[in-house]
């Protein structure tokens, strides 16, 4: 039951990019990565399998999930840039301008931003490059065997320890493809240890409580707030509190993966809310840019990031996202479900 959680993570990114709330966006992205590591390992093991047919279906399904909506977002950006001019779009975001050569055009078309190259017609698309990279690794079997995943996890930890010891900085801890190896490997570990983890959760009075996910969400916010308060005096926010947040996100995945409902959130509502996650992530910069332009016409001068700009943009962001869901995502989702229903492996109790 991850729908509402995914949308909350997407909104945390919006709060950072548009509202200027420090660091909360980076907290969310590692949560996304860990969730993807778990879900992609789950679907490749339980739905598609590692046969040639299964891998084709897995690849095509991932393509349908990522690219059509992404292409819609870059079309949105192109229209905006052509209407307001590149100078204005560049002032709004330094990555938001039109490609002027074939290589940059292809990078934007196929989501290839391993070093956060510019232009990026959808500015946060660099994280999608990371996602696609690990989708491929998972598809070819990096998370197939528990022992391999443990080795993968150990290498990931070594990388992060080295980044800290040699003080490579937040850039190498967060933005790079090797940095994302840690959350993806942890997500895969959750799959392989899902039964023992679930037993542990069910045997604990606190973790099995129906309100525990809300407690975890509060803990994530408290950890962020605490990090902001003590950063200059005691610790480096980019290390201790960043990893504490990651640990809380991992626990959230373990808790939510078996939930059928939550207090105030039914399974149906959770699924509905989850539909907004991806479009919100893709188009929040563009929608806020439109709102900013309209506000300027009304005599209100704001620059991004701005908390008021974020608040005004949020209703429009949900509206634009709903349009994308209705026009694009729903038809594609029907196609994806048809692909899933065609069996790629013998039916067992684990993949019914």
Q: Tens of pLDDT along 65-110?
A: 999 999 999 999 999 999 999 999 999 999 999 999 999 999 999 9
3-class state of residue 262 by DSSP: strand
Helix axes 52-84, 277-297, angle to 10 degrees: 0
Residue among 108, 101, 31, 98 at smallest CA distance from 67: 108
Contacts of 253 (CB under 8 A, 6+ apart): 2, 34, 35, 38, 187, 190
Q: How far apart are CA 130 and CA 111, in angstroms?
A: 9
pLDDT at 30 over 70: yes
Residue 236 has a pLDDT of 57
Is residue 352 one of the residues assigned to a domain? no
Determine the Cα angle at 286 with ends 59 and 299, to 5°.
175
* φ, ψ dihedrals at 265, nearest 5°: -130, 110
Is residue 80 one of the residues assigned to a domain? yes
pLDDT tens string 283-292: 999 999 999 9
pLDDT tens string 325-337: 999 999 998 888 8
128 or 171, higher pLDDT: 128
Count of domains observed in the chain? 1
**Percent of the chain, pLDDT > 70?**
95
pLDDT at 349 over 60: no
Residue among 52, 243, 50, 59 at smallest CA distance from 148: 50
Name which of 11-20, 177-186, 238-247 the model is least confident about. 238-247
Is residue 347 one of the residues assigned to a domain? no
Q: How far apart are CA 57 and CA 32, in angstroms?
A: 23
pLDDT at 348 over 60: no
pLDDT at 33 over 60: yes
Residue 182 has a pLDDT of 98
Query: Residues 206, 212: contact at Cβ < 8 Å?
Result: yes
Say how many Å lie between the first and final Cα of the chain, rounded.
18
Query: Residues 329, 279: contact at Cβ < 8 Å?
Result: yes
Task: Fill in the DSSP letter of residue 50.
Answer: S
Name which of 64-78, 107-121, 138-152, 326-340 the model is least confident about. 326-340
pLDDT at 310 over 60: yes
Per-residue burial over 227-241, b if 16 or more Cβ lie within 10 Å, else e, is beeebeeeeebbebb
pLDDT at 170 over 50: yes
Is residue 27 one of the residues assigned to a domain? yes
Residue 126 has a pLDDT of 98
Q: Can you tell me which residue has the tokens 């962020």?
A: 224
pLDDT at 237 over 80: no
Is residue 62 one of the residues assigned to a domain? yes
* Average pLDDT taken over every residue of the chain: 93
Residue among 114, 129, 124 at smallest CA distance from 277: 124
Q: How far apart are CA 183 and CA 56, in angstroms?
A: 25
Residue 340 has a pLDDT of 76
Residue 342 has a pLDDT of 66
What tokens does 319 get?
């509206």
Mean pLDDT score, 198-219? 93
pLDDT at 229 over 70: yes
Residue 346 has a pLDDT of 41
Q: Please give the residue range of the domain that contains residue 295.
A: 3-341
Is residue 348 one of the residues assigned to a domain? no
Residue 231 has a pLDDT of 57
Mean pLDDT score, 8-28? 96
pLDDT at 28 over 70: yes
Residue 232 has a pLDDT of 55
Is residue 349 one of the residues assigned to a domain? no
Residue 336 has a pLDDT of 87
Q: How far apart are CA 75 and CA 66, in angstroms?
A: 15
pLDDT at 187 over 80: yes
Query: Residues 18, 310: contact at Cβ < 8 Å?
Result: yes
């Amino acid at each position: 039951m991850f729908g509402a959680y995914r949308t909350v993570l997407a909104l945390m990114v919006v709060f950072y990019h548009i509202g200027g709330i420090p660091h909360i966006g980076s907290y969310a992205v590692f949560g996304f990565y860990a969730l993807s590591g778990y879900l992609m390992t789950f679907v490749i093991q339980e739905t598609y399998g590692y046969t040639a047919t299964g891998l084709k279906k897995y690849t095509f399904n991932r393509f349908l999930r990522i690219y059509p909506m992404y292409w819609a977002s870059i079309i949105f950006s192109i229209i905006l840039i052509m209407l307001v001019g590149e100078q204005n779009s560049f002032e709004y975001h330094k990555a938001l301008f039109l490609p002027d050569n074939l290589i940059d055009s292809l990078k934007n078309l196929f989501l290839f931003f391993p070093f956060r190259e510019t232009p990026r017609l959808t500015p946060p698309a660099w994280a999608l490059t990371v996602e696609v990279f690990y989708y491929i690794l998972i598809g070819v079997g990096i998370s197939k065997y528990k022992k391999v995943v443990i080795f993968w996890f150990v290498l990931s930890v070594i990388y992060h320890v080295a980044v800290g010891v040699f003080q490579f900085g937040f850039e190498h801890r967060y933005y790079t493809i090797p940095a994302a190896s840690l959350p993806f490997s942890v997500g895969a570990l959750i799959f392989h240890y899902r039964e023992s983890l679930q037993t542990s959760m069910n045997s604990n009075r606190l973790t099995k409580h129906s309100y525990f996910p809300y407690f975890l969400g509060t803990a994530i916010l408290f950890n962020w707030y605490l990090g902001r308060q003590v950063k200059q005096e005691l610790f480096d926010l980019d290390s201790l509190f960043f990893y504490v947040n990651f640990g809380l996100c991992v626990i959230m995945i373990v808790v939510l993966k078996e939930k059928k409902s939550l207090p105030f959130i039914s399974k149906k509502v959770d699924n509905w809310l989850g539909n907004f996650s991806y479009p919100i992530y893709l188009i929040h910069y563009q929608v806020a840019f439109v709102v900013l332009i309209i506000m300027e016409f009304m005599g209100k001068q704001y620059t991004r990031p701005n908390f008021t700009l974020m608040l005004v943009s949020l209703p429009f962001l949900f509206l634009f996202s709903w349009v994308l869901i209705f026009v694009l995502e729903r038809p594609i989702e029907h196609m994806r479900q048809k692909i899933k229903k065609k069996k790629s492996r013998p039916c067992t109790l684990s993949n019914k």
